[in-house]
Amino acid sequence: MSLFLVYVMLVHEMLHTKLASSEPKKWLLLAVIITAIALTINSAYTSNQELVTPDPEEIFQEVEPAVAVPPQEVPKSQEVTLVFGGDLQFDRFIRQRAAVMGGYDKLFEGFETLSQSADGFVANLEGPITDFDSISSGSAVGSSNNYIFTFSPEVVPVLKDLGFVLLNLGNNHILNFGAEGLAQTRATLNQAGLAHWGSVGGDSWLDDSFVEYEKNGMKFLFVNYNQFLWGDVDELLAELTRRKAALQPDFVVVYTHWGTEYQPIASEYYRALAGQFVAAGADIIIGSHPHVVQQHESINGVPVYYSLGNFVFDQYFEENVRRGLLLKVTFKKGSPITIEEQPIYLEGTGKTVLISPK
């Protein structure tokens, strides 16, 4: 409050009191004199004061702009697409043709688009990869040597470049060159970083029947059933149930080597066995070995393809063995499996070509 205002209040109080006294004129004159002095002092005081403009920053403190909390990021659809094929055999006529054409990569010309559209290939490696000389190449058709396979290590980088991520070794030809052939196969694939699995007998048959695969944040449990090597089916089914409960995979893929060669229809025995795998937790079942495409069906909502036929093979004696099938399977977390069928054809040149679906 200014001094002048204080004074006004005092004068007001004094006049109120003194004017009622016996000498009002005297007190009125004194009030006028004091007022004049007060006005002079107040004028001098205010003229010496700087006009102070308040700093806006003192009035309005700077407030940090509110940072919007982004909504919780919803993960993109977790999805994996794998291409499944049947039997791969790179000996005999296939070995000879690869040498003539200038490499095993020539066997897969035209597969680039399919490879780029998937996360990887899975198929059955129908024989060992070794540095042993071939004894089937050039042998008489139908002779015992004609069915003893070994594949050149040159095949491995071709498979790797094409996009193979997993090879099944659980079949009736993987031991064509014995334990040494199997050891070389595993070592060569391991060195190339190409995963493999499959029951090959012996004490480790049960553990060999399983492999875990992870891609795009999804977990898979692959199971192999190989009818040609010792192993108890009930024990395999029980182990499948146990591992599925322990791992909690997003999908269980059963890849089998079973059936009767060259028969286009899977028997009731294998259909019943497929039902057992479904009951144990399979989400899809894919078969190899018969060298022809067999029927497919759904068992309790689980797709079962009993045989995909040949993928790369030198069998040309009838149309059924020359026509194979690839499955482009898309696995999406929380959604049903989707399947695109891609027919293939084995040319007499050793090449496998994609053909348009009917």
Asked if residue 208 has pLDDT above 50, the reply is yes
Task: Give the global pTM.
Answer: 0.79
Top-tier CATH class for 80-354: alpha beta
pLDDT tens across 39-81, in order? 444 444 444 444 334 444 443 344 344 444 454 443 556 999 9
Question: Which one-letter amino acid corresponds to residue 203?
Answer: D
Distance separating alpha carbons of residues 119 and 115, to the nearest angstrom: 8
Rg (CA), the chain: 44
Q: Coil, strand, or helix at residue 42? A: helix
Q: Going by C-beta distance under 8 Å and a sequence separation of 6 or more, which residues neighbour residue 8?
A: 38
For 147, which DSSP code?
G
The 218-226 sheet, strands edge to edge: 210-215, 218-226, 251-257, 284-288, 302-305, 296-299
Region 17-43: mean pLDDT is: 45
Domain residue ranges of the chain, discontinuous segments joined by +? 3-47, 80-354
Distance separating alpha carbons of residues 221 and 354, to the nearest angstrom: 29
Contact (Cβ atoms closer than 8 angstroms) between residue 168 and residue 255? yes
Of 287, 221, 210, the C-alpha closest to 251 is: 221
What are 243's two structure tokens? Answer: 């591992």
Of the listed ranges 12-21, 109-118, 232-241, the least confidently predicted one is 12-21
Asked if residue 115 has pLDDT above 60, the reply is yes
Region 253-271: mean pLDDT is: 98
Asked if residue 224 has pLDDT above 50, the reply is yes
> Mean pLDDT score of the chain, rounded to an integer?
86
pLDDT tens across 48-59, in order? 444 334 444 443
Going by their DSSP bridges, the two strands 218-226 and 251-257 should be labelled as parallel
Write phi, then psi, for 209 (nearest 5 degrees): -75, -10
Distance separating alpha carbons of residues 253 and 200, to the nearest angstrom: 18
- pLDDT at position 77 is 65
- pLDDT at position 358 is 67
Task: Tell me the pLDDT band of 339, cut-offs 50, 70 and 90.
Answer: very high
- pLDDT at position 90 is 99
Q: Going by C-beta distance under 8 Å and a sequence separation of 6 or more, which residues neighbour residue 244?
A: 221, 252, 280, 281
pLDDT tens across 152-196, in order? 999 999 999 999 999 999 999 999 999 999 999 999 999 999 999
